[in-house]
Amino acid sequence: MDGILNMKATIFVLLFPILIPAHASAQDLPIALDEKGPKKAQGVKVVSTKIEAPLQSKTYAEKTESSQAEKARAIFKRANKYFEDRNLPVALSLYKKAYNLWPHPRIIFNMGVTLGMMSKPLEAALMFKAVLELGPEPVEAHRYKEAKERYLELMGTLAILRISSQQSGTKVYVDGNLVATAPFTKEILLTGGRHLVTANLTGHIAFNRDIFLPSGIIAEKIVTLNKFEPIVKFKKVKRYGNIWPIVAAGASAVLLGSGGFLVYQGRSEIDDLQAEVNLIAGQSIEQGTILAFDYDLSKQDGPLLKQNVGSAMIGVGITGAITAAVLYFFQEKQVQYTVTPDSNVEKTHTLE
């Protein structure tokens, strides 16, 4: 067992002198300046306007087998070559491959340097943060110091958001990415600027908030969802279509027209009969005598019948017109419905 440990230690010592390119320095990282000046935070509580480097919170333990470490060493040599040639995407890809074989803080450090040179401050800061949390021993004091300097420099363009939710089961997202499921309190790095915080929980109103994080601050956001109360709304629905008011109106118009015509015709015929009687009576008066004459009263039965039928039709037509108006104005009825979060189907209750 002691022999195996000694062998691992020997490989460990031989491997690290080649891990970090000597010329990689903090000057390789661009500094982003806000030319528009500082802006106020929105939608969050500012905890601090000064970001400190994270303290050691973990202990690194070497668990990689010697064969794996040897493979990682070979890949790392290739990555360093590409890094020196400034072929950064290929170098980063190889660093990641080496890290998968041997997850050592010095490899993380190199990935952070590469990401910084690729103008990816958020990803680079996360790498340096991981190095700092493991303490100076795995990467040696000078690299630990450089990691701290690079981290603080990068955080000048970034921000820290402490986000929390205590409603069990709540899923919280930032810019569409799941942060965690409540209950939780978590600290995340974000680029300075505008972000969207969303959350959902069954039976609660969805949470949507726009926030603005100025660069270089620590902010806090507590996510709390309000319980969904069924919303009662009202709307109008048709009892029947427009056809029935139209039919009633048309029928009443026909009845009124026909009835009016029959009344007019009957009255005209009565007037004709009256003119006939007046003519006979006038002739009798002209002769100086008033003579009795026979007149067939049955002649007025037809005209009187027409007037009666016409009057009845007018009455029915007026009733039909009133019915059409009633059908038109009352073809809609009001119903109430409730909106629930678990169903898109409206639950309606008719109000007659």
d(CA 90, CA 85): 10
Tens digit of pLDDT for each residue in 149-196?
A: 999 999 999 999 999 999 999 999 999 999 999 999 999 999 999 999
CATH number at residue 172: 2.60.40.3070
Q: What is the mean pLDDT of residues 286-297?
A: 60
Tens digit of pLDDT for each residue in 43-95?
A: 999 999 999 999 999 999 999 999 999 999 999 999 999 999 999 999 999 99
Residue 315 domain flag: yes
Q: Do 247 and 210 belong together in one domain? A: no
Residue 131 domain flag: yes
Mean pLDDT of the chain: 81
Token pair listed for 28: 């390789």
Q: Do 239 and 219 belong together in one domain? A: no
Concatenated DSSP letters of 287-345: TTS-------GGGGHHHHHHHHHHHHHHHHHHHHHHHHHHHHHTSEEEEEEEEETTEEE
- Kindly give, in sequence order, each residue whose CB lies less than 8 Å from that of residue 195, ignoring residues fewer than 6 positions away: 161, 174, 175, 210, 211, 212, 213
Q: Which domain holds residue 14?
A: 1-30+55-155
Q: Do 7 and 151 belong together in one domain? A: yes
Tens digit of pLDDT for each residue in 103-148?
A: 999 999 999 999 999 999 999 999 999 999 999 999 999 999 999 9
Q: Do 25 and 130 belong together in one domain? A: yes
What is the pLDDT at residue 283?
65
The domain total for the chain is 3
Q: Do 203 and 242 belong together in one domain? A: no
